[in-house]
Amino acid sequence: MIMVVPATVDDLDAIMSLESAGFEAAEQWSETSWRDELSAPGRTVLLACDERVVGAIALNAVGESADLQRIVVDPSVRRSGVANRLVHAGLEAVRRSGVRSVILEVCYDNEPAIALYQRLGFEQLGVRENYYGSGRHALILKLYADSMEREMTVVADD
């Protein structure tokens, strides 16, 4: 059974293992970036765990808005609901801190992630050209307060 728990700096090695398994070298976050996420104010970092860490999510909240900065799932458990659990837990955590909207960027060809975000109520705002490198554009997606509240009600009813 997957449990979602808050991450600490002690989890950095496990998170870095996820990074190396989950992303090509050019797309990986550095240890410094993750350490900053784990220690900076306004940050929420959660882990999905069974016997080991299988996923992580990082969000940055400022006032009533948050950025979903990063989500990484071990390739061996992708398409099993881990990302869904992490996003739900992350949205609930930032909502409890007063956040009313969440924004993110996702690679235009990452169809599984886009489908997940759309199911959760995220809407496309625009495109950032070459965001992930030459010819690799990002979709800018946003979850508004009304959709966020509705999504949290659905989660509570599950």
Range of the domain at 81: 3-157
Q: What is the mean pLDDT of residues 61-79?
A: 94
**Where residue 67 falls among pLDDT bands split at 50, 70, 90?**
very high
> Could you tell me how far CA 76 lies from the centroid of its own chain?
18
Q: What is the DSSP letter of 29?
A: P
pLDDT tens by residue, 99-126: 999 999 999 999 999 999 999 999 999 9
Single-letter residue type at 83: A
pLDDT, the chain, mean: 91
For the chain, what is the domain count? 1
The pLDDT score that the predictor gives to residue 156 is: 44
CATH number of the CATH domain containing 134: 3.40.630.30
